[in-house]
Amino acid sequence: MSAFEALTVSTLPVRLGQEAAIRQRVGDDPSAWSVDEVGDGNLNLVFIVRGAAGAVIVKQALPYVRLVGESWPLPLKRSFFEYHALIRQAERDPGMVPEIFHFDEAQAIIVMEFLSPHIILRRALIEGQQLPKIGRDLGNFIARTLFRGSDLAMETRKRKADLALFADNVELCDITENLVFSDPYFEAPLNRHTPGLEAIVTELRADRDMKVEAQRMKHLFAAKAETLLHGDLHTGSVMVTMDDTRVIDPEFAFYGPMAFDVGMLIANFWMSYFSQSGHEAHGPRDAMRAYLLDTVEEIWTTFTIEFTRLWHEERRGILYQASLFEDRNDRLASEQALHGVIHDIWTDMLGFAGVEMHRRILGLAHNADFETIADEAKRAACETKALKFGRHIAVNRTRIHSPADLATLAERLEQEIVQ
């Protein structure tokens, strides 16, 4: 195992030029490869390597957080977890993640499919694009990956071995545990927020019910090792065209509660919703807002339909065994159990979503949806609505029953009928 060395645009062809899997896809003459560094994420180096035969993505982890620098070390093994998550997701929902061509554990390098002409979903939503397939694709993706990675479907011996494997992803879990669930609710050093939010920030940090609920969600996140999560499933982790959807960047993968991926994903659509009024320079976004609420509903509906199908067709794990229900001709018992499971995911999803909305506005890692609104007063107004929405759904999560309830609430906040 050679010592870790960060790739550069000039060293990359030399270092990877002998890999048959890459030469096959880029071209046999590495000296003719063109390499661009395009990483705009918080953590890693990302290169596009182009040649006569085509192009690939080369992603390399760095031993620190790129966004912060060497003062915040972060282990290279996150690349190992990303690789292992990607191959599992590819099995569980084929075609929804980039194909992997090469993995070098010691150098923390993953070489994968170059997605083109895909763009980041968050960017598309900021631009006001209505993508017709994402509700279905993402709803199916969460249903399939969450169901098939759990004791509902897996042989429990394999699930427990996988749980142990991913339990070592400590440092990335630590980021979520601190930055998502705790930092937003007190004056943590890494926090920042838009000027103008001071009053509501003070209010939220004194909000006992919200703080306790956020910590209850953290308890669930840390303790409920239910399935292999993506772990960072926001709209910046999805690449899209009008007819293709791909999920990328699962380095936060670990065994956690199903509701976490669901809640984080949906929260990012609600943030997009509340950010739209900051992007109306080229025309109103009413149709875009309606599209976003419809998409949330479509994600949830697709998720429940596909989860239900898998429940009936692939429930071969140790939980809710057919030997107790269907095999005894009590199909209604199976439905009763299914409703319980989906009800719990729904309830917990709202808690995770509310917390995600807070941390993206008050914590370290902000969303381009809001950040690209240049007018600070306008941005603060958008963010205020999102903060209020997040607080409401997290604290009232046991009393809200449908995406339609939430759409109505979002509209009333947006129209300032409630404030």
Instruction: Identify whether the C-beta of residue 11 lies closer than 8 Å to the C-beta of residue 49.
Output: no
Instruction: Identify whether the C-beta of residue 101 lies closer than 8 Å to the C-beta of residue 88.
Output: no
Min dist CB 160 to a copy of itself, Å, is: 5
User: Is position 206 an interface residue for a copy of itself (rule: CB under 8 A)?
Assistant: yes
| CB-based contacts of 414, cutoff 8 Å, min separation 6 | 273, 274, 277, 289, 385
Q: What angle do CA 136, 137, 141 make, to 5 degrees?
A: 115
User: Is position 337 an interface residue for a copy of itself (rule: CB under 8 A)?
Assistant: yes
Burial class of residue 284, CB neighbours in 10 A (0-12, 13-18, 19+): exposed
Instruction: Identify whether the C-beta of residue 12 lies closer than 8 Å to the C-beta of residue 18.
Output: no
Binding mask 260-299 for a copy of itself (x = CB under 8 A): ----------------------------------------
Three-class SS state of 253: coil
Stretch that binds a copy of itself, among 152-160, 357-365, 371-379, 399-407 (CB under 8 A): 152-160
Min dist CB 156 to a copy of itself, Å, is: 7
User: Is position 164 an interface residue for a copy of itself (rule: CB under 8 A)?
Assistant: yes
Three-class SS state of 340: helix
DSSP 111: E
Min dist CB 359 to a copy of itself, Å, is: 14
User: Is position 212 an interface residue for a copy of itself (rule: CB under 8 A)?
Assistant: yes
Distance CA 276, CA 286 (A): 9
User: Is position 332 an interface residue for a copy of itself (rule: CB under 8 A)?
Assistant: yes
Distance CA 182, CA 210 (A): 11
Structure tokens of 3? 């010592």
Q: Which of 31, 71, 208, 416 binds a copy of itself (CB under 8 A)?
A: 208
Of the pair 81, 114, the CB lying nearest a copy of itself is at 81
Of the pair 20, 167, the CB lying nearest a copy of itself is at 167
User: Is position 186 an interface residue for a copy of itself (rule: CB under 8 A)?
Assistant: yes
End-to-end, the C-alpha distance of the chain in Å comes to 59
User: Is position 177 an interface residue for a copy of itself (rule: CB under 8 A)?
Assistant: yes
Binding mask 246-265 for a copy of itself (x = CB under 8 A): ---------x-x--------
Instruction: Identify whether the C-beta of residue 394 lies closer than 8 Å to the C-beta of residue 350.
Output: yes
The residue type at 8: T
Stretch that binds a copy of itself, among 74-82, 106-114, 137-145, 336-344 (CB under 8 A): 336-344
User: Is position 190 an interface residue for a copy of itself (rule: CB under 8 A)?
Assistant: no
Three-class SS state of 223: helix
Q: Which of residues 88-147 bind a copy of itself (CB under 8 A)?
A: none
The residue type at 207: D
Stretch that binds a copy of itself, among 25-33, 139-147, 240-248, 313-321 (CB under 8 A): 313-321
Stretch that binds a copy of itself, among 44-52, 76-84, 125-133, 153-161 (CB under 8 A): 153-161
Distance CA 405, CA 419 (A): 17
> Where on the chain is the footprint of a copy of itself (CB under 8 A)?
150-151, 156-157, 160-161, 163-165, 167-168, 170, 173-174, 177-178, 182, 185-186, 205-206, 208-209, 211-212, 215-216, 218-219, 222-226, 255, 257, 318-321, 323-325, 327-328, 330, 332-333, 336-337, 340-341
